[in-house]
Amino acid sequence: MRLELDRIGHAFLGRPVFEDLTLDLHEGEVVALVGPSGCGKTTVLQIAAGLIEPLRGRVRRHYRRHAVVFQEPRLLPWLTARDNIAYGLAARGMGRAERRALAEQRAAEVGLLERDLDKYPAELSGGMRQRTAVARALATDPEIVYFDEPFTAVDVGLQRVLQDLIIAASAREKFSALFVTHDLAEAVRLAHRIVVSGRQDGIVAERTLYGVPGQRDDRAVFETVQTWMQDPSFADLFDGDRQ
Amino acid sequence: MHHGLAFLGWAGRYLWSGWAGAAGLFCIAAAWQAGHELYGSFILPAPLETAREVVRLAQDEAFRHAARQTAERAGLGFALSVLIGTAAGIAAGYSFAAMRLMRPVVTVILGVPPIAWIVLALIWFGAGGGTAVMTVVVASLPISFAGGLEGVATRDRGLDAMARSFRAGPLMRLRTVTAPHMVSYLFPAWTTTAGSAWKVTVMAELLSNAGGLGGDLASARALFDIARVTAIVLVVVGFALFSEYALLQPVRDRLEQWREAGRPWGVKR
């Protein structure tokens, strides 16, 4: 067990977002948290990552290091791509030369070219910025990575590339991941287990996916999503009228 | 080697951009010359005449001493107000309550005319260098304070959360997330402070008879030495230009190079 969220609840200005939410994350496991917008998925992730304190319940973390990939790249505009990737290492107190070398290695893994590393975020395309953010998270050798709808702003082709990149990285480096998304197909592609959060009532459904992420073909992914669309537990996800 | 060349390139570009600024200054000189030709030397000495007077004054040991005195006072006043004001502003920016409390205080202090501070300081400290320094500090401290406060208050909370997710401590977050953002708030405040430091120092010196360029200005006025008056004004303006374009602007330019990178082609300089 890497992470346990035990009956956590949170509210903003007295308005409850969710109550009694319990969620576990095992070693090497990728859990996708899906739900309609406004159901508090991001809040769950921020609580898990320690960015906000839950109003109720307990969070137990059995790991040393985590990293977060946010919805927006959140790169520091005054640092070059190389120094942005090395940011987490700098926060750990690693020396400049060492962290830059590690950053270059990670950059190559996510498909960034050597010549892009001296550029500032403003000079990079949206996709390259998100790649940089992924490299920054992976650079710290995390045991858990929290992904907060990281690929909503990139085009479909690039989404696939970035998803594959994360599937490969999690298989290679054995990190656990909590992947928040509203895209069921994305969740089915890259997770071991899917947790569905409803509006206000915490977790409404949980499905363990067969097989290993990365080995499911497109047809299987499509069919799973089609079947689940008929499932009442997933109704909130596809019901745009109530949003 | 690579960094050295990049620095030389930047320094060359910075110096070269001085021509545009010089063109603006020469426009002022032309208008000045026109005024001189209209009203004559007694009302407004010509720029060239004034420049000659400056050269003559520069060889005068007493005048050099006065200029140094003014520079020291203005510099000390600037340093104190910038250090105290910025530090207090940063501290207040992190506290919502302090921010609410301090904003009207800033307005009140800024609303008191510097001349009133001079009179008060004269009563408190007597005629001396302390009066000038204190007036500069009190008159311009709120500007740096407001700059630091706004800079911290408008920091990007998303970037701050990102830094916290990597367990960056408060000092590292201040250095890497907040400080680079604050530069664009602090430098306008600091250049305003530098400019007003010279003005207020000379004014305080003139009124408190505390030597320096202000004291020189008072005696030149008493003697109706118009050329000397304009020469002193020119020296003070020269000091102000130097502190802004030789000391503050290059630092800002270096710190904000990343902004340059975001500009589209053709807008760069």
Which amino acid, residue B154? T
Mean pLDDT calculated for residue range A222-232: 86
Backbone angles phi, psi at B195, to 5 degrees: -60, -45
Which chain B residues have a beta carbon less than 8 Å from that of A51? 161, 164-165
Looking at residue A99, its pLDDT comes to 94
Query: What's the rounded Cα separation, in Å, for the pair B7 and B13?
Result: 10
Model-level pTM?
Answer: 0.85
- Count Cβ–Cβ pairs < 8 Å, chain A vs chain B: 56
Looking at residue B115, its pLDDT comes to 86
Query: What's the rounded Cα separation, in Å, for the pair A152 and B23?
Result: 51
- Taking only the tens place, the pLDDT of each residue in B28-41 is 999 999 999 999 98
- Taking only the tens place, the pLDDT of each residue in B209-264 is 888 999 999 999 999 999 999 999 999 999 999 999 999 999 998 888 888 877 76
Q: Which residue in A79, A87, A123 is closest to B166 by CB distance?
A: A87
Looking at residue B258, its pLDDT comes to 87
Site from A51, A70, A71, A74 to mutate, B interface, most B CB atoms within 10 angstroms: A74
Cα–Cα separations (whole angstroms), residue B198 to A73, B130, B203: 45, 15, 9
Q: How confident is the model at residue A94 (pLDDT cuts 50, 70, 90)?
A: very high
Mean pLDDT calculated for residue range A194-205: 80
Residue A27 has pLDDT above 60, yes or no: yes
Looking at residue B266, its pLDDT comes to 52
Assess A118–B contact: CB distance below 8 Å, yes or no. Answer: no
- Taking only the tens place, the pLDDT of each residue in A138-159 is 999 999 999 999 998 888 888 9
User: Do the Cβ atoms of A148 and A111 come closer than 8 Å?
Assistant: no
Q: Which residue in B163, B169, B258 is closest to A78 by CB distance?
A: B258
Looking at residue A243, its pLDDT comes to 45
- Report the Cα–Cα distance between both ends of chain A, in Å, rounded: 35
**CA A171 to chain CA centroid, nearest Å:** 15
Instruction: State the smallest CA–CA distance between residue A82 and chain B in angstroms.
Output: 14
Instruction: State the smallest CA–CA distance between residue B96 and chain A in angstroms.
Output: 18
Query: What's the rounded Cα separation, in Å, for the pair A136 and B170?
Result: 20
Residues 6+ apart with CB under 8 A from B10: B253, B254, B257
Mean pLDDT score of chain A, rounded to an integer?
90
- Taking only the tens place, the pLDDT of each residue in B138-157 is 888 999 999 999 999 999 99
Q: How confident is the model at residue B1 (pLDDT cuts 50, 70, 90)?
A: low
